[in-house]
Amino acid sequence: MTIKTKKILVPLDGSANSFRGLDVAIHMARQSQATISGLYVAGIVKPKISEPISPLEKLFLEYAQKIMKKAKLKAAKKGILFFDRLSYGDNGKRIVEIAERENFDLIVIGSRGMGAAKEMFLGSTSNYVLHKSKRPVLIVK
């Protein structure tokens, strides 16, 4: 049985491991003419449209834009179509929900991100995604 990979989801948090995951996804996308969607999950509650943006929300948005710009440039240099996405909430849950809802063929995620200290106590995002996702998951070290 052959699985055709056309849509790859790559969660990005700005860590070196997340960008290593992007590099692997770019390589895979080149082999199968797939597109990549980079996903940044801000670990806060989604702001209400009617309320002014807080300084913390502004920082998250600026950081996400910086990461996505870097990722889009990397993909473009290799001729890969890259879509950037921003979501709010719990990292692992949002990654799994989006992958399922939008029928991604593959999730490529770094083994450890920015939350390495948290991982020791609560379990890592990649571990959560690996065990909860119904989509194939590739963890990159």
CA nearest to 21, candidates 129, 107, 115: 107
In the chain, pLDDT over 90 holds for what percent of residues? 71
Interval 100-126: pLDDT, tens: 999 999 999 998 765 544 444 334 899
Phi, psi dihedral angles at 54 (to 5 degrees): -85, 160
Domain ranges of the chain: 7-44+60-140
In which residue are the tokens 């600026």 written?
A: 62
Here the tokens at position 41 are 């999950």
Chain position carrying tokens 């240099």:
77
What pLDDT does 94 receive? 96
Backbone angles phi, psi at 52, to 5 degrees: -65, 150
**pTM of the entire predicted model:** 0.89
Topology annotation, domain 7-44+60-140: Rossmann fold (3.40.50)
pLDDT in tens, 22-62: 999 999 999 999 999 999 999 887 777 777 888 888 898 99
